[in-house]
Amino acid sequence: MNKRTLSYIIAFLLILIVFGYEYVLEDAESKDQIEQGAEVKAETNAYFLPTSTTGQIVHHEYYSLSYSEAHEQAEWVAYELKASHLSNTNFKRPYFEIDKAVSTGAAHWRNYKNSGYDRGHLCPAGDRRFSKAAHDETFLTSNISPQEHQFNSGIWNTLEQKVRYWAKKYDGVYVVTGGVLNGEMKRIGSDDVSVPNQFYKILIDTNSGRTKMIAFLMPHKDSSRPLYEFVVSVDEIEALTGIDFFPQLEDDIENELETSTSYKNWSF
C-alpha cells in the first residue's frame, strides 16, 4: 500500500469518526430536549392543562401543547396570559424552527412555503413580548397551524387582541387554543400538515372573583361578524375534539361553566 492510498484511508476514517461523533451529539441533544419537554416548567400552569388525545404533551417554558403526529400540529396549546406579560416591545422575528421536544418529530416549516397559508401562531408572539426568550419560543413549528392570511390577520387577530384586553382587565386569563382536527381537511407540504376547517379559543378567568369561562369556535375564513356571535359552550368544542379541557375543576363548577354559552360576564 503506497503512502497516497494510506492517506486517503486515514482521511476517510477521520471523516467517519467526525460524522459519527456529531450524530451521537445530535442524538443525545434530541433525547435531552424530549426529556426536558416532558417536565412541567415553572411558567406553565399545569392545573388547567386539558387532556391529550394523542398522549404527547410537551412543556416549554412559557406554554404547553399536545402534539398530533397524524395532523403534524398541536391539537391544543395552553398558556397563562398575565397582565404583567403584556408589553409593546417589538423583537425581531426569528426563523421558525422544528420543535425537537416532540418525540415523534414536528413538522418542518417548509411545509408552509408556497402553500398559500400563513404559519399561524397558536400561542401568539404578541402574547409573549415580555422577554426575547418567551417571544422567540413561539416560533416553533409545533406552535403553528395553517391559516388563511385574511383569517389570520382578520377575525382571528381581532380575537387575540380581545384576549389581551381581558388579560389586562381581569388581571390575567388562562388560554387554550387550536384547530379542530377532524373531518375532511386539506393537507399541505411533504409532511401532510392538516388545514383545520375551524379554530377554537377557550378562556378561563379565576382572578377577578367568581370563576368564569368563555369559548369561541370560528370557521376558517375571515368574517366581519362581531366576536360574541362566535361564542359557544365548551361542551360543544369538547364534542368536536374529544378533549376534556378542564378536568381539574370540581365537577359541579366544570359542568356549570362548560355548558354555558353566556358571555354577559365578559366585557366586549
Q: Are residues 119 and 243 in the same domain?
A: yes
**Range of the structural domain that residue 15 is part of:** 1-36
Q: Are residues 103 and 191 in the same domain?
A: yes
Read off the CATH number of the domain in which 125 is found: 3.40.570.10
E strands, the chain, in order: 57-59, 64-68, 73-81, 118-121, 144-147, 173-179, 186-188, 193-195, 198-205, 212-219, 231-232
Place of cell 395552553: 78
What is the number of structural domains in the chain? 2
Q: Are residues 102 and 134 in the same domain?
A: yes
Say what the pTM is.
0.86
Q: Are residues 20 and 140 in the same domain?
A: no
138 within some domain = yes
Q: Are residues 12 and 130 in the same domain?
A: no
Q: Are residues 25 and 45 in the same domain?
A: no
Q: For residues 208 and 13, which has the higher predicted lDDT (pLDDT)?
A: 208
User: What confidence tier does 35 reach under pLDDT thresholds 50, 70, 90?
Assistant: low
Q: Are residues 21 and 137 in the same domain?
A: no
User: What is the C-alpha separation between 59 and 145, in angstroms, rounded?
Assistant: 18
Residue 159: its pLDDT value, please? 98
User: What is the C-alpha separation between 179 and 122, in angstroms, rounded?
Assistant: 9
Q: Are residues 151 and 193 in the same domain?
A: yes
Provide the percentage of residues in the chain whose pLDDT is more than 90.
76
**pLDDT digit string (tens) for 50-92?**
999 999 999 999 999 999 999 999 999 999 999 999 999 999 9
Q: Are residues 55 and 21 in the same domain?
A: no
Q: Are residues 8 and 125 in the same domain?
A: no
265 within some domain = no
Residue 25: its pLDDT value, please? 47
**pLDDT digit string (tens) for 117-161?**
999 999 999 999 999 999 999 999 999 999 999 999 999 999 999
Q: Are residues 15 and 103 in the same domain?
A: no
Q: Are residues 22 and 79 in the same domain?
A: no
74 within some domain = yes
267 within some domain = no
162 within some domain = yes
Strand 144-147 vs strand 173-179: parallel, antiparallel, or unpaired?
unpaired
**pLDDT digit string (tens) for 190-243?**
999 999 999 999 999 998 888 999 999 999 999 999 999 999 999 999 999 999
C-alpha cell, 58: 410537551
